Structure 1
Amino acid sequence: MPTSTTLQDRQDIADLMTGWVHRDQGRWDRLRELFHPDARIEITWFEGAASDFVDASARMATTDLRTKHLVTSPTVTFSADGTRAVSETNAVIVAENSSLGLGCNGHNRFIDRIERRAGVWRILDRTSVYDFATFTFPAGIAEIDPEVVARYPREYGALAYLLDRSGFPVLRTFATKGSELEHAIEKSAFAWLGEQALD
């Protein structure tokens, strides 16, 4: 028999998503608490263990690159037994490198595998799909090398360019809206969730 999920389950998962504010505010211990110890994360500038991502984020915070994330409420699908969930969450990445006088706004969606262990929901796997990105110019028009921007998919070219110029290179192609990579991420996530899913 399927296990029913509660409004509290949905709120707990929503709190995990909006908990990304801890990264923006440099609350590294609280950011670490969003993830299970064996969690992984794959985004433009980092792939690996979530615990290492927290450490890398702390190092990024000491550079001229600053970021802020605007995160919406997630859509959540639960497994039939109520112990797993897949969520999709819209976000806006606002970034700026003060020494370059250059910034960007990147629109993405986090696709998360979330698991309840000992009654506590935490993220087990986080990936990102990129929808589109644009440059911003906080100190006036800055020079951009269009050939470098063109190396990346248009959906996150501005973000990748800023990351690369800031010392955080984007080393492979990531999922974009409607891409085969996006479909593969979703297919894998829902296979992990199980066929008898509950909305």
Structure 2
Amino acid sequence: MDRDFETRLVIRQLVEDWAIFRDARLWDRFRQVWHSDGRMMATWFQGSAEEFIQVSQSGYDNGVRILHFLGGSTIDLAGDRAIAQTKMTISQRALVDDVEVDVVCTGRFYDFFERRDARWGLVLRQPIYEKDRMDPVDPAATLRLSGDLLALFPVGYRHLAYLQTRVGYTVKRDMPGLDGPEVEALYVSGSNWLGGKPHRWTGH
């Protein structure tokens, strides 16, 4: 088997493992996707992979329900480093102003991978949020959103951010979207990563 093809299979398996193990809360197996210094970026969380596990489980225990679905993937390889981009959807169900709703956000996972001691692992996951929508679970329900709150967030994830703010999270307001300076800066960071430069962690 071609070595690059085999490497892409390994990385794609890690991408798929992330979604399955995270949503199933199989945390011991989820940890194996990451390197020990791995970092996770999300609208509602920015920090280490281990911290992400803790807050994800705590959220689940408190009724938070976030699920992921994956689509196509492309992987750029450069020696012991790779950038994987994978189409995905994030879905979350919650009460918003006493109405049960589903939010679905479409985008990409933009992943920084590295091979260390013959093992590939995830170093940084940065989602790109392209578009989203919010729908009442009961189609007969009436939902009226605050235009002022929606306007605080980028168009790619404003409904997801609205829901997450309503349930108590502080949402990051400058995540990459379909276009704009944030996603362009991410592409530069990915190119630098493939070129051997260290990644500058910008989470807070």
Backbone CA RMSD of aligned residues:
1.7
**Counterparts of 2:72 and 2:149, CA distance in 1:** 34
Counterpart position of 1:184: 185
CA contact (8 A) 1:18 1:72 kept: no
Per-residue deviation at 1:84?
0.8
1:85 aligns with 2:82: yes
Q: Which amino acid aligns with 1:171?
A: K
Give the partner amino acid of 2:129. Y
Decide whether the 8 Å contact of 2:174 with 2:182 is kept in 1.
no
In structure 2, how many angstroms separate the alpha carbons of the residues matched to 1:72 and 1:122? 20
Displacement of 1:178: 1.2
Work out the CA distance in 2 between the residues paired with 1:146 and 1:172: 16
Cα deviation, 1:39-90, whole Å, max 9, x if unaligned, reads 11211111111111111111111123211111123200111xx211011111
Q: How many Å separate the matches in 1 of 2:117 and 2:72?
A: 24
Equivalent pair of 1:26/1:61 in contact (CA under 8 Å): no
Q: What is the TM-score when the length of structure 1 is the normalising length?
A: 0.89
- Asked if the contact 2:84/2:112 (under 8 Å) is kept, the reply is yes
**Distance in 2 of aligned mates of 1:154 and 1:190:** 26
Distance 1:163 1:33 in 2: 28
Q: In structure 1, which of residues 8, 15, 18 is the aligned counterpart of residue 16 of structure 2?
A: 18
Q: Deviations over 1:8-43 (max 9, x none)?
A: 211111111111121111112222211100011211
* Poorly superposed stretches of 4+, deviation over 6 Å: none
Match status 1:170 vs 2:171: yes
> Which SS does the other structure have where 1:157 is aligned?
helix
Q: Aligned residue pairs: how many?
A: 190
Change in 2 beyond 3 A, CA 1:142/1:65: farther
Percentage identity across aligned positions? 27
C-alpha distance in structure 2 between counterparts of 1:148 and 1:130, whole Å:
18
1:52-91 superposed matches below 5 A: 52-79=51-78, 82-91=79-88
TM-score, normalisation: structure 2? 0.87
CA contact (8 A) 1:38 1:49 kept: yes
TM-superposed CA distance for 1:173, in Å, is: 1.6
Alignment partners' CA distance in 2, 1:85 and 1:189: 9
The corresponding residue for 1:97 is: 94
| Distance across 2 between alignment mates of 1:46 and 1:54 | 11
For residues 114 and 5 of structure 1, the distance between their equivalents in structure 2, rounded to whole angstroms, comes to 16
| 57-66 or 37-46, larger mean C-alpha shift | 57-66
Q: Encode CA deviations 1:116-171: one digit per residue, 9 max, x unaligned.
A: 11222110111111100000211333332222111111110000011111222203
Distance 2:40 2:25 in 1: 18
Q: Which moved more, 1:89-98 or 1:141-150?
A: 141-150
Cα distance between partner residues in 2 of 1:77 and 1:42: 20
Aligned-partner Cα distance in 2 for 1:142–1:65: 20
Other-structure match for 2:122: 123
Output the CA distance in 2 between the equivalents of 1:142 and 1:27: 35
Partner residue in 2 for 1:8: 6
Shift of 1:100: 4.5
Q: Does 1:193 align with 2:194?
A: yes
